[in-house]
Structure 1
Amino acid sequence: MRQEDESNMDKPFGGKVVVLGGDFKQILSVIPKEGRQDIVSAVVNSSDLWKHCENPLLDLVDFTFPNLVHNMKIDKFLEEQCILCPTLESVENVNDFILEFLPGDTDEDTEYESKWFTIEFLNDITCSGIPNHKITLKVGAPIMLLRNIDQATDLCNGTRLIVSDLGTNVTRVTVLTRTNNGDDIFIPRKDMVPSDLGYLFKFERRQFSISPCFAMTINKSQAQSLSHIGLYLFRPVFTHGQFYVALSSVRLRNELKLLVMGAEGKVRNKTETMVYKKMSSNIWDL
């Protein structure tokens, strides 16, 4: 007698876990002799199966910013929510991921000038104290100031704002901090020189001193008033007490959700404490 299959045939793929890979937003299926509508219909997120799919990062976004597109129009919705990440690279990845969900066109700034170096080389430089060459923005998205504008009114490095209007040389924003909550200000594009001393040359970049801020680094979150936090850990992070800083940023356990990724890109339910054993070998001798 044949043993019955334990799979749940009422679920897609019999209830088995199936991993879908590839960037289908940019690399579309090839449908010979068919038009745009047929190609779009062949993409996986056009399928009835899409409602059964899960994206770990999407779950973290939904927890931190529930019903984002609708609720972002509500006053103060974005004031105390943020995703914390250990590195600037992961911050940029999360911000780019969330911006895709917002309606409207993006504003991508591409100012440059080069004499001795190639344009690509200068544009790829990312360093402390200066915004990236390319900033992707949309109206309604939260952003962060990267430099002090007016310390007397709390418009300082780390202040969170919301984009109200996009211009070529001036961006209008609304302040999110408690001190000046709701105030409209204008941020000009200006020339900036990086403070990073690791380069053997000097260069100047003309850009807005802002960056998207659905996510920010754990270090930047210190002294921020947050009540809903998503913590995105793509690798163990215990340098300078970052993990403990992130956990102490909320008051209650249900205000925090963690997404811990393993080396193979799989979701994990734990993270390791990274310590130097030599430094702690004689700690109990005190």
Structure 2
Amino acid sequence: MNDRRCFETLDRSLRDLFDCQAKPFGRKSVLLGGDFRQTLPIIQGASKSTILASSLPRSYLWNNFKVYKLTKNMRLQRPNITSAEQNLISEFSSWLVSIGDGDIGTPDMSDPQDIKLIRIPDQYLIPYTDNALTELIRLIYDNDTLKNPDATTLSRKAIVCPTNNMVHEINSMVLDMAAGPTKTYTSIDSVVPHPGDNTDIDVLYPVEYLNLLNFNGLPTHVLELKFNSPVVLLRNLNPKDGLCNGTRLIVTQLLPAIVEVQIMTGKFIGRKVYIAKISLTYKDKELPFELKRKQFPLRLCYAMTINKSQGQSLDKIGLYLPQPIFSHGQLYVALSRATTPHSLKIVIVPHGDDDAALTKNIVYSDFLKEIDSTAN
């Protein structure tokens, strides 16, 4: 939502399409929805100024938008909740907004402007021990869920953490706990040399090495699945029918060349579709080749990264922090997936003598105040 390049490309296309070069979006009205408290465009190794420069408010289009802010907390409008529950939800929502705005916490000496240390209230914490992660998993995915999983239950639960490496570890742990046999699918990996490269690249980078490579947005070489395990789609296959990058699905059949899945989220809930292996490529300027991987564009999603969880509303959410979050809005995104204060549990892994109830919160408060100044 925040990447200005997408909207500038749309703007130029609509101006050309409707032969109206003088008016933004070809004189068409454009309505956007989002929250700048959430994560900003992801640019590997970029500085704060570079990240902000790529965001929508830094676009030439920004002055043409009018900003309106929502003011009513719809969570408090639920029927059949008591006044005590309303007060609890109201306090929880105010706490989340304070974290999103960067208004609470102690400035961190490494970057006092943008980083604050937040003390997590005890009611949300699982005290850290060697078994804290297993306890968190058991709390989110209880025995009944693991033995009798269904789309409705799984769509309302998740564990989130900052990095993909930790996501893979948690997914493997939960899959081992789940009932039923495991079916393993392996990818076919190859390299595409850069133009003009005359080196015998297949000798330099054998298949065994390529199989070990894992990158964000790319399925793993080994994909292990079980009947009724939740997965997330890694590519836009058919957006018109609900098959978008980030769509959560549940496995309903494991066939030799095809996986049958059922959509768990969005307006196409319940629809069954078939997923085949496709060829995906990964380019990186630091790699001397382009990796080509033929695999199902799926990944287990008992756990997911904080960034991938944006847009989800969950009845049970576990936040696992083996290390602090590392970019603007990540802590707010993770905590605000919870629909009630009772649905959230957090494990913070302390390092050395660190307080196990403290964690970092990164918020570009100056950027948010700039946005607020343009709101109506």
Structure 1 segments of 4+ aligned residues over 6 angstroms from their partners: none
| 1:75 Cα deviation from its structure 2 partner | 4.9
Report the more deviating stretch, 265-274 or 209-218. Answer: 265-274
* 1:101 equivalent in structure 2: 177
Contact 1:174 1:183 in 2 (8 A): yes
Output the CA distance in 1 between the equivalents of 2:291 and 2:326.
Answer: 34
- Structure 2 gaps of 5+ residues are 1-128, 191-201, 367-376
Structure 1 residues 214 and 75, CA gap change in structure 2 (3 angstroms): closer
Output the CA distance in 1 between the equivalents of 2:225 and 2:300.
Answer: 7
TM-score of the two chains, using structure 2 as the length reference = 0.55
Could you give the per-residue CA deviations for residues 168-200 of structure 1, whole angstroms, max 9, x where no partner exists?
Answer: 321001110141111111000111111444322
TM-score of the two chains, using structure 1 as the length reference = 0.72
Question: Is residue 170 from structure 1 mapped to residue 258 from structure 2 by the alignment?
Answer: yes
* 1:154 equivalent in structure 2: 242
Question: Is residue 59 from structure 1 mapped to residue 147 from structure 2 by the alignment?
Answer: no
Output the CA distance in 1 between the equivalents of 2:219 and 2:245.
Answer: 12
Structure 1 residues 265 and 99, CA gap change in structure 2 (3 angstroms): farther
SS class of match (1:226): coil
SS class of match (1:271): strand
SS class of match (2:171): helix
SS class of match (1:82): strand
Contact 2:242 2:266 in 1 (8 A): no
| 1:103 Cα deviation from its structure 2 partner | 2.2
Output the CA distance in 2 between the equivalents of 1:105 and 1:111.
Answer: 20
TM alignment of 1:1-286, pairs within 5 A:
55-67=131-143, 68-72=145-149, 74-113=150-189, 115-116=202-203, 117-263=205-351, 268-273=356-361
CA RMSD of aligned residues (A): 2.6
Structure 1 residues 238 and 200, CA gap change in structure 2 (3 angstroms): closer
Output the CA distance in 1 between the equivalents of 2:360 and 2:332.
Answer: 13
Output the CA distance in 2 between the equivalents of 1:243 and 1:129.
Answer: 21
| 1:224 Cα deviation from its structure 2 partner | 1.8
Contact 2:317 2:344 in 1 (8 A): yes
Output the CA distance in 2 between the equivalents of 1:242 and 1:113.
Answer: 33
Could you give the per-residue CA deviations for residues 108-166 of structure 1, whole angstroms, max 9, x where no partner exists?
Answer: 22233553322221011112332111111111110000000111122100000011111
Structure 1 residues 256 and 186, CA gap change in structure 2 (3 angstroms): same
